[in-house]
Amino acid sequence: MDTLLQQLINGLTLGAVYALVALGYTMVYGIIGLINFAHGEVVMIGTMVAFTVIVSLAGSGMPPLLILSVGLLIAVVACMVLGWGLERVAYRPLRHAPRLTPLITAIGMSIVLQNVAMIIWGRNYITFPPMIDKRIYEVGGASFTNVQVAIVVLAALVMIGLTYLVQRTRMGMAMRATAQNQHVALLMGVDIDRVIAMAFIIGSALGALAGCMVGSYYEIAHYQMGFMLGLKAFTAAVLGGIGNMAGAMAGGLLLGIIEALGAGYIGDLTGNFLGSHYQDIFAFMVLIIVLMFRPSGLFGERTGDRA
């Protein structure tokens, strides 16, 4: 039983990170119907920037928590600028191009960002200096750290904040309007360009936050870390129904838990025919099964094809 609890805790932490990254995908997709393949790389850049700031401040005698916050802040700002830049340079000129065109630019941007990061931060894995004293708590035979608690709490706060932003503010209303129908929103006086740029900026900020979480959780960063993370988060977004914010959060958490339980129990479930090497298959299998019965994801609405 304590194993199950432990696996749930593992999955929850992982899921919270997935959910934050998935929100970045879903915000952009919900508004302009574009899979921003470079989002994973934005997360990576966020981690790297935070790392650089933290390392350069580490010897300054500032309190660790302050250093961490400064690193986080600078990373978030850097990624906001990056997200805005991405939209301006790579996506805005292609808004009326065939649907697959921006997908290729996104892939191109993701290659560019990876290699730029490699030139700046090197090929080696870099270690995050542990700024917080890691404390390990034990509850009912399962253990977790204060970093894990911080990740889950922070993710929850951000999601609440984001829901407020989208549901209660003028900007949020403009976003929802644009998502429903760009042309009509334009006629209603919504500044479409600004709304789309905002979606990228907010998404990237969430990505930076997720990046910092990943960095301080695993204490490791690498210029290619964004790819797998992005892929998983994208899967999570689709699982929940891409374009739907609640869906992204649920999808992220679900995927994290599926992965943890999958790796933990797949062997027992299949009489050891399948082992934890099929962990990634498990996630995709669930995705395929869900989509077979709900072709628009768990929370997605049936919408017309955008093709």
Partner 1 sequence: MKHAHIPGVLVALAASVAMIGCGKKEEPKAAAPAPAPAAAPAPAPKPEIVVKIGHVAPLTGPIAHLGKDNENGARLAVDDANAKKLEIDGKIVKFELLGEDDQADPKTGTVVAQKLVDAKVAGVVGHLNSGTTIPASAIYNQAGLPQISPSATNPKYTQQGFNTTFRVMANDIQQGSVVGTYAVKDMGAKKVAIIDDRTAYGQGLADEVEKAAKAAGATIVAREFTTDKATDFKAILTKIKAKNPDVIFLGGMDAVGGPMLKQIKELGIKAKFTTGDGGCSPELIKLAGAASEGVICTQAGLPVDKLPNGQKFVEDFTKKYGQIQIYSPYSYDAVMVLVDAMKRANSVDPVKYLPEVGKTAYDGVTGKVEFDEKGDIKNGAITVFVIQEGKLVTLKSEGGTAAAAAAPAAAPAAAPEAKK
Partner 2 sequence: MSGESGRSPRGLQQWLGLLLLVGVLLAVPFVAALGGQAWVRIANFAILYVFLALGLNIVVGYAGLLDLGYVAFYAVGAYCYALLASPHFGIHLPFWVILPFGAALACLFGILLGAPTLKLRGDYLAIVTLGFGEIIRIFMNNLNAPINITNGAQGITLIDPIRIGDFSFAKTSTLFGISLSGPQKYYFLLVALAALVIVINIRLQNSRIGRAWQAIREDEVAAKACGINTRNIKLLAFAMGASFGGIAGGVFAAMQGFVSPESFSLMESITILAMVVLGGMGHIPGVILGAVLLTGLPEALRYGIEPLQKAVFGRMIIDPESLRMLVFGLALVLVMRFRPAGLWPSSLRRRELSEVTD
Q: How far is CA 307 from CA 33, 98, 127, 191, in A?
A: 10, 9, 43, 24
Whichever of 41 and 175 has its CB closer to partner 2, that residue is 41
Residue 101 contact partner, candidates partner 2, partner 1, none, CB within 5 to 8 A by sort of partner = partner 2
Q: What whole-number distance in Å separates Cα of residue 106 and Cα of residue 85?
A: 13
Q: Which of 10, 13, 47, 114 binds partner 2 (CB under 8 A)?
A: 114
Q: Which of 43, 234, 250, 258 binds partner 2 (CB under 8 A)?
A: 234
Q: Which of 151, 184, 200 is nearest to 11 (CA)?
A: 151
Size of the site for partner 1 (CB under 8 A): 41
Residue 295 contact partner, candidates partner 1, partner 2, none, CB within 5 to 8 A by sort of partner = partner 2
For residue 11, state whether it binds partner 1 (rule: CB under 8 A).
Answer: yes
Q: How many CB atoms lie within 10 A of CB 152?
A: 19
Q: Which of residues 17-56 bind partner 2 (CB under 8 A)?
A: 29, 33, 35
Closest distance to partner 2 from the beta carbon of 64 (Å): 33
For residue 97, state whether it binds partner 2 (rule: CB under 8 A).
Answer: yes
Closest distance to partner 2 from the beta carbon of 262 (Å): 12
For residue 218, state whether it binds partner 2 (rule: CB under 8 A).
Answer: no
Three-state SS at 221: strand
Give ∠ CA 238-275-273 in degrees, rounded to 5: 115
Residue length of the chain = 307
Q: Torsion angle, CA of 243/249/253/255, rounded to 10 degrees? A: 10
Task: Confirm if 175 and 198 have CB atoms less than 8 A apart.
Answer: yes
User: Footprint of partner 1 on this chain (CB under 8 A)?
Assistant: 3, 6-7, 10-11, 13-14, 115, 118, 122-125, 127, 130, 134, 136, 138, 143-145, 214, 218-220, 222, 224-225, 228, 259-264, 267, 275-277, 279-280
